[in-house]
Amino acid sequence: MKKLVLIFTLVASSSAWAQGDINAGKLKAATCVACHGSDGNATITQYPKLAGQHADYIVKQLADYKLAFTTEGTQGRNNAIMAGMAAGLSATDMADLGAYFSSLPISPNTTPENVIAIAEPLYRFGDPERGIAACISCHGPRGNGTSLAGFPKISGQNAEYMALQLQEFRAGSRHNDLNRMMQSVAAKLTDNEITALSAYVGGLH
């Protein structure tokens, strides 16, 4: 029963975002270029690639950044740069930006051979003894996530950005994940595991 309630909640929250306009989003994305690249593929690796990301996920993150700004960080997702960027965005602006970036192709990435031994078992099977859920259960075998459930695409993502997010989830400084799922997983990961997983997902396709 709890699983059914969770599914219905996810569907309802996902469908709440309005459909955006790609062309309008392209115009509004001019201020995003410095960090996220002209094509949504950030070359500064501490920032995420937005190209190909699920539109609903982008909208939720923007809304969470704005929420953090309006609640002085007590809610939402805290980031000094993005809080300022999102503060003036309307729901329509967010939907347009989500539509635009989701329409762009993500640039290719690879998985370094030296991380596979550590990362692949964790990604595919988790670690039941430590209570670590498998990444594949939410993000899928190819790292594409699912828009309907609100799980982001992580395949092809910048490894440095991924590591920073896992570290923030582990520290509790990022806490906008559904039911603390990512915080629960990241809290049990070692530094080496975070580094390996962050690099591993880049080459999933």
- Binding-site annotation: residue ranges for heme c: 32, 35-36, 82, 135, 138-139, 182
**CA 55, CA 16: separation in Å to the nearest integer?**
12
**Hey, how many other C-beta atoms are within 10 angstroms of the C-beta on 128?**
9
Q: How buried is 39 (Cβ within 10 angstroms: 0-12 exposed, 13-18 middle, 19+ buried)? A: middle
Q: Is the dihedral of CA 126, 128, 131, 133 positive or negative?
A: positive
The terminus-to-terminus CA distance of the chain in angstroms comes to 33
**CA 122, CA 164: separation in Å to the nearest integer?**
18
In this structure, are residues 107 and 101 in contact, taking their beta carbons and an 8 Å threshold? Answer: no
Residues in the chain: 205
Question: Which residues are part of a known binding site?
Answer: 32, 35-36, 82, 135, 138-139, 182
H-helix segments, 16-150: 22-28, 33-36, 55-70, 80-86, 91-102, 116-125, 136-139
**CA 40, CA 156: separation in Å to the nearest integer?**
12
Q: Which residues pair with 151 in a beta bridge?
A: 146
Backbone angles phi, psi at 103, to 5 degrees: -85, -10
